[in-house]
Amino acid sequence: MDFSGKVVVITGGASGMGAATAREFARAGARVVVVDRNTELAGQVAAELRADAISGDISHSSFCDSTIQQTLNRHGKLDVLVNAAGIIVRARGEATSDEDWNRIMSVNVGGTFFMCRAAIRAMKGRGGAIVNFGSIWGDLGASGVAAYCASKGAVHNLTRALALEHATDGIRINAVCPGEVNTPMIKSERKEPVTPELMQRLADSVPMGRLAEPAEIANMVLFLASDKASYMTGSLVLVDAGFAAR
Ligand SMILES: NC(=O)c1ccc[n+]([C@@H]2O[C@H](COP(=O)([O-])OP(=O)(O)OC[C@H]3O[C@@H](n4cnc5c(N)ncnc54)[C@H](O)[C@@H]3O)[C@@H](O)[C@H]2O)c1
């Protein structure tokens, strides 16, 4: 896929699947803008890819608006937005604090919405593509991650609703829904120690018997953002090695 001359903004671009996606877009010739609240890591990925870095918190709409405005000021347009920034809270519903509930909703749902809204305003009249990060847990329930499941379910239906609103504007909006992926998130916020046995248990829970590597998800993001996906909008695309097929 060729993204030469295309301007691509990627939230969560400092780590995991966002960073893998930034690398694949850069390899395909895009002008990449890495957006992340982790200033140091965002700077490292941007330096590696000769990309721009913008650091801040996507749960603030003013930051999202200014990120898109800075991109327009520097590159004159926006072709693709990828919303990979996200967090997880590992707690059963009954043990989830107000603070954790509000935090995950404001990042995973609010941040995704604010970035979509700012990007759509910039894309109107010229078209573009948006790829959100959903999850198998946006469709399936799981014990111990109730707020995360709720937040990803919201991202799925936000994706569908925005896609319908812009179906005739040349703005395609889809979501990639990964299964278990080998990124820092899969090890984070766990109450039990992250041992090789735990990682093996996670791999064994997947029909293919292994975690995904971040690039395997990034490939789908590039496809959805490309002209090859010209007839796709409002789709939630599972990349999960059969996890949700059961
Ligand atoms: N790892 C998995 O197994 C998995 C599976 C399905 C979906 N997902 C989703 O994929 C996306 C990427 O996850 P990952 O596993 O690569 O995670 P990761 O933790 O490696 O990367 C997430 C990045 O988002 C950034 N971020 C978090 N909150 C932010 C905020 N408020 N403002 C700006 N940046 C912020 C972090 O600094 C980090 O760099 C997330 O939306 C996640 O929920 C992950």
231 is catalytic: no
C-alpha span between 229 and 209 (Å, rounded): 29
Residue 204's pLDDT band (boundaries 50, 70, 90)? very high
Record the pTM.
0.98
Residue 241 Cβ < 6 Å to ligand 1: no
* pLDDT tens, position by position, 128-169: 999 999 999 999 999 999 999 999 999 999 999 999 999 999
What integer best gives the mean pLDDT of the chain?
Answer: 98
Domains in the chain: ranges and CATH: 7-182+213-238 (3.40.50.720)
Counting from 1 in the atom list of ligand 1, the atom nearest the Cα of 41 is 39
* pLDDT tens, position by position, 64-108: 999 999 999 999 999 999 999 999 999 999 999 999 999 999 999
Distance 12 CA to ligand 1 centre (A): 6
Q: Could you please report the per-residue DSSP string of 181-237?
A: B-SHHHHTT-SS---HHHHHHHHHTSTTSSPBPHHHHHHHHHHHHSGGGTT--S-EE
C-alpha span between 113 and 119 (Å, rounded): 10
